[in-house]
Structure 1
Amino acid sequence: MSFLSPLFLIAVSAIGLPLIIHLLNLRRPQRVEFSTLAFFKELQKTTIRKIRIKRYLLLLLRLLAIACLALVLARPFLPPGLSGSANSQAPALNAILIDNSISMSRIGDKGPLIEQAKSIVKSIEASSKEDDRFILQVTNGAAQYSTIVGHNQLLRRIEEIDVISSGNYTTDRIENLYGVLSEAPYQNKRLFILGDGQSSQFNGEFPETDDRSITTSYINLGEVNVQNTVVTNLESSTNMIGASLPVNLTVTVENKGEVPIANQFVSLEFSGSLVGQYSLSMEANSSRTFSFEVVPQKVGSSNGKVIIEGDEFTQDNEYFFTVQVPETRRILWVKEETPAIASLESYTGVVLEASGNNDAQLSYEESGVEILGTNEISGYDAIILDGIKTIPEFAFNNLLEFVQGGRGLVFYPSESGDIRNYNSFLRQFNVGEFEGIMGEYASFNSVAKGNEVQEDHPIFAGLFERDENEDLRIADPDVYYYYKLKPSSSPGGFNILTLNTGDPLIRDKRFGEGKLIISSIGNSPGWSNFAVKPLYAPLYYRALLYAASSDEGGFATHQLGETFSWSGDVDAENVSIRVDEETVIPDARVAAMGAQLTYPAEAWRPGWVTISDENREYSVAVNLERNESDFASRNIESILEDIAYVDASDLGDESLEAEIKASGFGREIWSWFMLAGLLFLVIESLLSVLYKAEKIT
């Protein structure tokens, strides 16, 4: 048994206090014979012996309790050979995991954290036996080493490690090292993890192993306070992206430091040009948002980035993005073969034809309801159900998966539709149900007006031009005949247009990753005079564009630390990914939209990658996980409560070496002495109360 803090053994001398008190009590006064004391001489000798035994027992228990508590302060530990079944003289396998994330570039009192980590690894190597072996690994970027090496090779590899701006794989690397250690034919197995206590590295929990022969230690280099300003969010005002259409981008900037900032700048570049710049002044731990307007000039990918200038920590001062303008959005128009009244044909075809003149054009195909039961619908961005009297039940699941997968569905009822069938279909999406029918078809007698517009809906973004305090005025459409929709109480739904009766005219319902747009009226003149109102054409077109646009809002992004996954219209046999100056071949499989690509992407860094085949080219922005910029060590000790934890920030070289030896090369047993000391005190209390030796017989 050894001690981590042997200086505290001086506290053992405290056991002398009860001894001194006891010896003082043994000093007897001079004996003087007195006649009246003769009666007391009749006390039995056995009673006196019992009193002395009780006093000696109490003294012994007090001495033991004080000694145990003194040993607790000295932090005793057992070497591995005594704390388990392993032979302490047998060779050991030491796995060492070094945090090489961007936070390790911070400079503390002892220099850069990454250099401190290297120095501690050298101390671990120096404390090891000649026959011990090592595995060296890093948390971020590609796995550097996977082989077992000796002392000299370990020291060479240590010098090659540096901070890298790549994805974090801490949890995966720990699990992999546990697996290697478990299978290794060594009696002594140790895992040392060196980091700066960044709690986000572990995602709230530390990996576990069932192999109890492995000793795990986390060595915390300490928290370094540094001012850091970082972009935490970038979003667009609309997901309807098109060439020459302005897009408003909202950038959120956060001050992660503990001090206010001033004289910093945030700027945005798009397609190689500076779009705008703002001055930054922020309080500690606060955030601000800034707006920029960009205009993609072409179909395809347009790259941009947000830049922070004047920040103390510069490793995360750029945030990359790509705006993707699709060539076309494919629309499937499903309709009845012939309308109930030939002269009242749907306007849908006219609107779809007109959309071909827009830069963000829609391409469409017509079909009957039979296509809804096939896999062909997965090749479309949105489906219009236009005047279908009865939606086939065999299509319910297909359409459900279609919307859940991020596509759009637009529903226009038939004037002679089966309301029970419609309600069965709507219940699949938790939209609500039609309670009945109001008015008379083709009567041209108004029963309601569409007079309330949800102006902040993405469909209307940038559509209306008016002064700030000017009320919105539109020509209200007259409705002659409509289905009375009672929306469900579930979240994710809101009215785009509302009738003056309070009933929805057009309702948007988010479901999964996609959208369902339900109209209470059909798209022919027998329902209303909406088609002759100025709002009709842009609303119809934008509703289709909205339904056919993905939730990403035109952004193509990848977060480092995850497997790269992308799907798009490329040739699966000829596709490649260009990363900086290197070209890699991803795993590709044929999908409905072209190809589904996956790639490990462990070595990728922030910037852009380019996906291409012989005919097409797409850009994808690559960024660090947002938590990489959060250096806080919140709850780190609770996350690591089941393993040995060493705080190296306030320890000298000798103390740190002793801590490392105890944590990785032995087992602390101070808790044993703590329990023993408390037990002795409890026994002492019980003995003093229950041991009655003064009774005279």
Structure 2
Amino acid sequence: MQFKNPEILYFLILLIIPILVHLFQLQKFVKVPFTNVAFLQTLQQQSRKSSRLKKWLILCTRMLFFTALIFAFSKPYFSPQNRAKEPQYFIYLDTSLSTDTRGEKGNLLKIAAQEIIENTAPNNNYSLLTNTDFYKDLNKKELKKILLSIENSTLKLDLKTVFLKIKQENKNKTKALHRNILISDFQTTYNNKFTNVTTAFTAVQLAASQKNNISIDSIFIRNKNSQNFTVHALIKNQGPKKENVPIALFNIKKLRSKQTFSIEKNTTKEIQFKVNNTGDFLGKLKLAFSDTFLFDNSYFFAVNTKKINVLAIGNTTTFLSKIYTEETFRFEQKTLPEVNYNTLDKQQLIILNELKIIPKILAKKLAVFSQNGGSIVMIPAQKLSVNSYNTFLRSLNVGEIGRHQKDTLKITAINYAHPLFKNVFSKRITNFQYPIVRSYAPISGDVSKIVSFENNTAFISQLGNKKMYYISAALNIKNSNFINAPLIVPIFYNLGAMSAQYPALAYRAGQENTIEITTETNKDEILTLANTENSFIPGQRASQNKVLITTKEQPKKAGFYSVFKKDIKIQDLAYNVPREESLLNFLDLNKLSKAENITILPSIKEVFKKIVKNNEVHWLWKWFLLLAIVSLFLEILILKFYTP
């Protein structure tokens, strides 16, 4: 038994007052002379016994009256829970995209929100956590307003974060009786997330009515030239074999191509579209198929046609112009006297091709160029000035060139893990014809080997963590046959491609993305991202001729967004929702049902029904009040009808 007003029970001490009155306020008998003394003595003894019994009965009824009255005012009750603490309800509602699908009653998220509204009690206090926001100390009216406007989000909230938030709230409200409710589809395998959880909670799993899905997983571009390029789309099927699935390719809203395909059970298939290269292409792939998730039936991508600026300073050569073709690059070759130093900062890649010395003015410009993120490739001359080169390298704190050596060496080792060779080799090559050099100038210090000689010294290396590369031998035909080796094309092509961080084909909404935008901005100018529905200012950091923008929580929806400087459009970007949301892997909650602190219930209605049952109170004050009335009635009966 528990009491709402336990302090009232202190008044039980006052019950000692009627006891003291009964003991010390005794009735005095008056003696009257009478002739028959023997008879009188017997009557007196009987009267005293009856009077004493009546007094004890009256005392008991009065004690019972006051005791029952005090208990009634203390409001006693029976309840499974401690009513001394106010209940505090913490609700986590999963708003990830995987809950944007149809269940037995309708859209999973909308139905869950509606059932919470219908089953919550009006007088309780609630906290609501979603994937994007946290609301605390809500009454039912405030909770209802939020739930009616709730939307799916591209953000995925880790369950570890949910439990940390619950723990923090429980710690802040130590005098509250906490009820923690997790409502989610529990996508992917979360078993390890529950192993060390000590917080008690109730879980409800939202389940989709369909268990098969087809999605566009990713796309990439191949065979791009001045006439056309090929779009490769990876289609992922989860579930049974599907036939005659329509897929269409749009340039913004204009249909460019369409086809149908079949895909086997639980497989991935590549679909190709050949597209005419007419400039910038804002592509949208769309599957016309009804399945578990609809958000993954579209994929947005942006093909930008900006060319990469490459400048070669030094000896004129033909192999560079064959690699840096006009379809992708804007390539120039200049001798040292022809260089316009004012245009160096507009380049993405500068190649020092067999310069004997690096003039001080050029070294100073190159140092600034490197510090601003530009790429530099150094190919030393056979008769180089080592001091001139090292003076330049020391200004950047990267490496030191040794004395020029005449020794015929084979180029034998490739660092396949280096980003320069990403997607270049399908397998490791061990039996290729080794190119040779007849002389070289080795480098030491903080360098990472990309390609090595047979004596394990570096032939091509990256200097420090900068975008600086050193080739230790002159590549003219008299000194080396490396320009005739197949390896030279992917190396120099990727050196050019990696020098410009142009926007990718697509980015993920709701995740952190750092994007380099080539543009010049004044001190007070900012870049904005916008489409027809939304606009926002991303985080940004300006440097010479470029701005690094960072997007994270925005944008929230997939689609095309344009980068604006004032009213001038600079670049188009494409965003897609995370493809992990398409997975049909869900946790089996039955595996958690044996845990003492975890309660698994089939529906939201059952959760609140059980909570109401656990919070049900059986009040006893009415019975004690009735007992007080009965005791008072008994006293009246004793006083009126009981005569000694």
TM-score range with shorter-chain normalisation?
0.5 to 0.7
Q: 1:98 pairs with 93, 99, 104, which one? A: 93
Q: For structure 2, which runs of at least 5 residues remain unmatched after alignment?
A: 2-78, 338-342, 425-432, 617-644
1:64-101 Cα distance to aligned partner (Å, 9 max, x none): xxxxxxxxxxxxxx9663xxxxxx34323323221223
Alpha-carbon separation, structure 2, partners of 1:515 and 1:319: 32
Is residue 188 from structure 1 mapped to residue 177 from structure 2 by the alignment?
yes
Query: CA 1:248–1:521 in 2, change beyond 3 Å: closer, same or farther?
Result: farther
Alpha-carbon separation, structure 1, partners of 2:610 and 2:403: 71
Q: 2:330 pairs with 338, 361, 366, which one? A: 361
Counterpart residue number, 1:139: 131
Is residue 317 from structure 1 mapped to residue 317 from structure 2 by the alignment?
no
Contact 1:95 1:190 in 2 (8 A): yes
Between 589-598 and 352-361, report the one with greater CA deviation: 352-361
Counterpart of 1:154 in 2: which secondary structure?
helix
Is residue 384 from structure 1 mapped to residue 337 from structure 2 by the alignment?
no
Shift of 1:176: 5.3
Q: 2:232 corresponds to which letter in structure 1?
A: T
Query: CA 1:90–1:663 in 2, change beyond 3 Å: closer, same or farther?
Result: closer
Q: 2:182 corresponds to which letter in structure 1?
A: I
Query: CA 1:458–1:554 in 2, change beyond 3 Å: closer, same or farther?
Result: farther
Q: 2:245 pairs with 264, 275, 288, which one? A: 264
Q: 1:307 corresponds to which letter in structure 2?
A: K
Counterpart residue number, 2:146: 157
Shift of 1:251: 1.7
Q: For structure 1, which runs of at least 5 residues remain unmatched after alignment?
A: 2-77, 82-87, 336-345, 369-375, 440-446, 463-475, 496-500, 666-697
Is residue 167 from structure 1 mapped to residue 155 from structure 2 by the alignment?
yes
Q: 2:516 corresponds to which letter in structure 1?
A: S
Alpha-carbon separation, structure 1, partners of 2:464 and 2:281: 28
**Structure 1 residues 5-404: aligned runs within 5 Å:** 81=82, 88-118=83-113, 120-122=115-117, 125-126=120-121, 131-139=123-131, 143=133, 146-162=135-151, 164=152, 166-169=154-157, 175=164, 179=168, 182-183=171-172, 187-199=176-188, 205=193, 215-222=200-207, 224-237=209-222, 244=226, 246-255=228-237, 257-270=238-251, 272-298=253-279, 301-313=280-292, 314-331=294-311, 333=312, 346-348=315-317, 360-362=329-331, 380-387=347-354
Contact 1:174 1:207 in 2 (8 A): no
Contact 1:221 1:648 in 2 (8 A): no
Counterpart residue number, 1:562: 511
Q: 1:138 corresponds to which letter in structure 2?
A: T
Query: CA 1:598–1:660 in 2, change beyond 3 Å: closer, same or farther?
Result: farther
Contact 1:267 1:274 in 2 (8 A): yes
Count of aligned positions: 510
Shift of 1:321: 0.8
Is residue 410 from structure 1 mapped to residue 373 from structure 2 by the alignment?
no
Give the greater-gyration-radius structure (CA): 2
- TM-score for both structures, normalised by structure 1: 0.56
Shift of 1:307: 1.5
Alpha-carbon separation, structure 1, partners of 2:258 and 2:244: 13
Is residue 619 from structure 1 mapped to residue 572 from structure 2 by the alignment?
yes
Contact 1:559 1:625 in 2 (8 A): yes
Q: 1:193 corresponds to which letter in structure 2?
A: L
Shift of 1:263: 1.9
Q: RMSD of the alignment, in Å?
A: 6.0
Query: CA 1:203–1:648 in 2, change beyond 3 Å: closer, same or farther?
Result: closer
Contact 2:308 2:496 in 1 (8 A): no
Shift of 1:260: 1.9
Query: CA 1:627–1:357 in 2, change beyond 3 Å: closer, same or farther?
Result: closer
1:451-486 Cα distance to aligned partner (Å, 9 max, x none): xxx9xx999x99xxxxxxxxxxxxx99988454999
Is residue 543 from structure 1 mapped to residue 481 from structure 2 by the alignment?
no
Shift of 1:135: 2.5
Counterpart of 1:118 in 2: which secondary structure?
helix
Contact 1:269 1:305 in 2 (8 A): yes
Counterpart of 2:296 in 1: which secondary structure?
coil
Counterpart of 2:492 in 1: which secondary structure?
helix
Q: 2:558 corresponds to which letter in structure 1?
A: P
Query: CA 1:627–1:552 in 2, change beyond 3 Å: closer, same or farther?
Result: farther
